[in-house]
């Protein structure tokens, strides 16, 4: 249990809806369930006092402080974005920064990110979430609190031996072969883009997401269908990332979240 009072650069609902993770839920207004591997924190948001209360075992406090990247300085990145967008008269990214205040790049588990973002390819977010929950329910361990049951994200030893037919009812579509293959991949190897790209079912975009969200490499800038639309429709393919060197992934996340909002996706 710990509290975050009037946090700077932390909005849990923004993060939940930003498409970087798939296992944060809001079962009732201002009550959030955050899951990562076999960890579960229930987070109560006291809106009038802008205070988040994390209900979790106290020996898990450090896990969640790390997960939400509370030790990193988002103020300086955010300020750089504002200063540069004003200088460059970049209305879109300026608006994205205002709308996306409270965004952070989570430090997610590498294995969970690896599996999740393979599922994400050519897929929509509601369906990605459904498949992941089905995967957890089938191969994870039940966790019950507050009269609610979630299932842990299966670790590799839980799924190492499964066969393709075991994945048939998870709604994975053609990605089932990729997932089955990745279950036998030596995931303890150091996260590395070049190695990820050798794996069947992982291309540049998915590798970039895994490195950004699963290895906290903020220089990664995943270009998905939404980012392609942004870079062509808004910037005529002339957007310059150099003012944001070192935190391209954060800028990308602000753009992604804002553009989807403008298109009524979140």
Partner DNA sequence: GGCCAGGTTCTAC
Partner DNA sequence: GTAGAACATGGC
Q: At closest approach, how far in Å is the CB of 216 from DNA?
A: 14
- Closest CB 46 distance from DNA, rounded Å: 27
Q: Which is nearer to DNA, 154 or 171 (CB)?
A: 171
| Alpha carbon distance 207, 202 (integer Å) | 6
Instruction: Give residue 131's Cα distance to chain centre.
Output: 16
Cβ neighbours around 251 below 10 Å, total: 24
Taking each helix axis from N to C terminus, what angle separates 110-119 and 125-139, rounded to the nearest 10 degrees? 130
Q: What are phi and psi of 247, to 5 degrees?
A: -140, 40
Three-point CA angle 57, 60, 62, nearest 5°: 140
Which of 59/163 has CB closer to DNA? 163
Closer residue to DNA in complex, CB, 49/263: 263
Q: Which residues contact DNA by CB under 7 A? A: 18-20, 120-128, 130, 171, 173-174, 177, 199-207, 209, 222-227, 229, 252-253, 256, 260, 265
Q: How far is the CB of 157 from DNA (least distance, A)?
A: 25
Q: How far is the CB of 253 from DNA (least distance, A)?
A: 6
Closer to DNA at the Cβ: 138 or 265? 265
CB of 34 to DNA, least distance (A): 16
What sign for the dihedral angle of Cα 189, 105, 14, 36?
A: positive
Of residues 43 and 105, the one with the C-beta less far from DNA? 105
Q: Report the Cα 212 to chain-centroid distance in Å.
A: 9
Residue 65: name the closest of 117, 1, 143, 145 by CA: 1
Mention every residue, 6+ apart, whose C-beta is less than 8 A from residue 42: 31, 32, 33, 34, 54, 55, 56, 145, 146
The contacts of residue 146 (CB under 8 Å, 6+ apart) are: 42
Which DSSP string do the residues of 116-149 spell out, in sequence order?
HHHHTTT--HHHHHHHHHHHHHHHS-EEEETTEE
Give whichever of 144 and 198 is closer to DNA, judged by the CB atom.
198
CB of 179 to DNA, least distance (A): 12
Least Å from the CB of residue 145 to DNA:
26
**Where is 249: in which H helix or E strand?**
helix 248-262
Residue closer to DNA by CB (options 59, 169) is: 169
């Amino acid at each position: 249990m710990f509290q975050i009072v009037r946090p700077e650069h932390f909005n849990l609902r923004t993060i939940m809806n930003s498409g970087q993770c798939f296992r944060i839920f809001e079962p009732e207004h201002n009550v959030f369930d955050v899951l990562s591997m076999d960890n579960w924190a229930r987070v109560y948001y006291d809106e009038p006092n802008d205070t988040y209360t994390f209900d979790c075992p106290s020996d898990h406090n450090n896990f969640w402080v790390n997960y939400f990247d509370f030790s990193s300085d988002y103020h300086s990145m955010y300020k750089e974005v504002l200063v540069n967008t004003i200088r460059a008269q970049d209305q879109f990214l300026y608006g994205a920064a205002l709308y996306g205040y409270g965004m952070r790049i989570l430090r997610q588990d590498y294995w969970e990110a690896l599996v999740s973002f393979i599922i994400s390819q050519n897929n929509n977010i509601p369906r990605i979430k459904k498949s992941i929950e089905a995967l957890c329910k089938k191969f994870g361990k039940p966790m019950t609190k507050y009269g609610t049951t979630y299932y842990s994200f299966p670790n590799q030893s839980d799924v190492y031996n499964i066969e393709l037919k075991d994945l048939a009812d998870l709604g994975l579509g053609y990605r089932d072969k990729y997932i089955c293959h990745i279950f036998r991949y030596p995931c303890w190897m150091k996260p590395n883009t070049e190695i990820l790209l050798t794996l069947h079912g992982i291309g540049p975009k998915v590798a970039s997401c895994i490195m950004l969200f699963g290895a906290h490499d903020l220089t990664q800038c995943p270009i998905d269908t939404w980012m392609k639309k942004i870079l062509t429709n808004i910037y005529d393919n002339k957007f310059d990332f150099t003012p944001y060197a070192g935190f391209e992934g954060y800028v990308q996340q602000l753009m992604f979240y804002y553009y989807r909002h403008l298109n009524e996706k979140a």
